[in-house]
Amino acid sequence: MNPKPESCYANSAMQNLLYAKYFTDLVDSIQIELLLPEQITLVTELKKIINEFKKNQPICISIDSFRTSVSPEYAPTSLSTNAPGIYHDSIDFIDSIFNKMPEFENLFKFEIEIESECTQCGRKDALRKEQMHKFEMLNVIQNESITFKDAMNRELTESLVKRCVNCNPRDLETEEGTIHNILKKVVFKEDQKYMIIGKNVMVPNSKTKYFKFNDEKYLFNNRSCKWKLIGIIIYLSYGEDSGHYYSFTKRSDNQWLKQDCLGNSTAYSTATEKSIAYLEGSTPNCLNLLNTRMLLFERI
């Protein structure tokens, strides 16, 4: 990807998507003449990127035109040190791609079934279903001794206070509400190939346990299929609306590749354009894995 620090959010997102074989195959199969006018430039630019990527050569690929085709808000900005940077998020960038090309989203789409039960009277609300293409883990997991499996399962239950029509049917306007248990169930769709898990994602630190990067996993207590981890996006915060993204991706030979537009002290070409990819081996080696912004799983 283009080694510009201001494009790190897009670089990291694309590096993950390029190693998602069902995604790249789908892009290759799309006929440009069948697209809507607003989709043509996006898919054309994406096909160019994938074509260069499949050459498997150590070259930099500019995605500036692709970013602009996704949305004008992602168009390249000035790299002047006097110009304020614009913060963007890798998952928001992926969301924008899917908004423009819903066909891509279908590879990632799953369903959440939500049920609410009043702890005072036992009344259950009607089952509600939501279509999603990512699962944002909202519970902070830092400094806890917890497995990744338990962290996922904890996301499926929560409690909140809301009105219950059974407990106080006469005065709903003034009722403060009762405690309800909210139960969620993740249902994978038949044609779903990928699972994005984001937000306050947890991977190993001194207190997290039993996360093996190369093991096949059940996700969110759904045992209908297993998944393998193929991509990681790391976010390092430098302050409010300021930070840096980089990624790890798993190759077909099961070796992990670190891709960072800032490079490192041992691999670079110039002060502004550094080497952005190097092999990590069978396991990602990084001190900042607790700062994970996104995990990308592929269905087995």
Amino acid at 59: I
Write out the two tokens for 69: 């085709």
pLDDT value of residue 278 = 66
For the ranges 127-131, 183-187, 197-201, which has the lowest average pLDDT?
Answer: 197-201
Residue 218 pLDDT greater than 60, yes or no: yes
Q: pLDDT tens digits for 2-60? A: 445 578 999 999 999 999 999 999 999 999 999 999 999 999 999 999 999 988 766 66
pLDDT bucket at 142, cuts 50 / 70 / 90: low
Q: Report percent pLDDT > 70 for the chain.
A: 78
Residue 126 pLDDT greater than 70, yes or no: yes
Instruction: Taking residues 54-77, report their average pLDDT.
Output: 85
DSSP letter string, the chain: ----GGGHHHHHHHHHHHT-HHHHHHHHH--GGGS-HHHHHHHHHHHHHHHHHTT--S-----HHHHHHH-GGGS-----TTSPP----HHHHHHHHHHH-HHHHTTT-EEEEEEEEETTT--BPPPEEEEES-EEE-S--TT--EEHHHHHHHTTEEEEEE--TTT-SS-TTT---EEEEEEEEEEE-TT--EEEEEES----SSSEE---TTS-EEETTEEEEEEEEEEEEEEEEEETTEEEEEEEEE-TTS-EEEE-TT-BTTBBSSSSSB--EEEEESS---TTGGGEEEEEEEE-
How much is the mean pLDDT over the chain? 82
Count of domains for the chain: 1
The more confidently predicted of residues 131 and 151 is 131
Do 77 and 9 contact (CB within 8 A), yes or no?
no
Q: What is the CATH number of the domain that holds 201?
A: 3.90.70.10
Max mean pLDDT range (66-80, 101-115, 148-162, 209-223):
101-115
Residue 269 pLDDT greater than 50, yes or no: no
Q: Report percent pLDDT > 90 for the chain.
A: 49
Domain that holds residue 80: 5-299
φ, ψ for residue 92 (rounded to 5)?
-60, -35
pLDDT value of residue 150 = 82
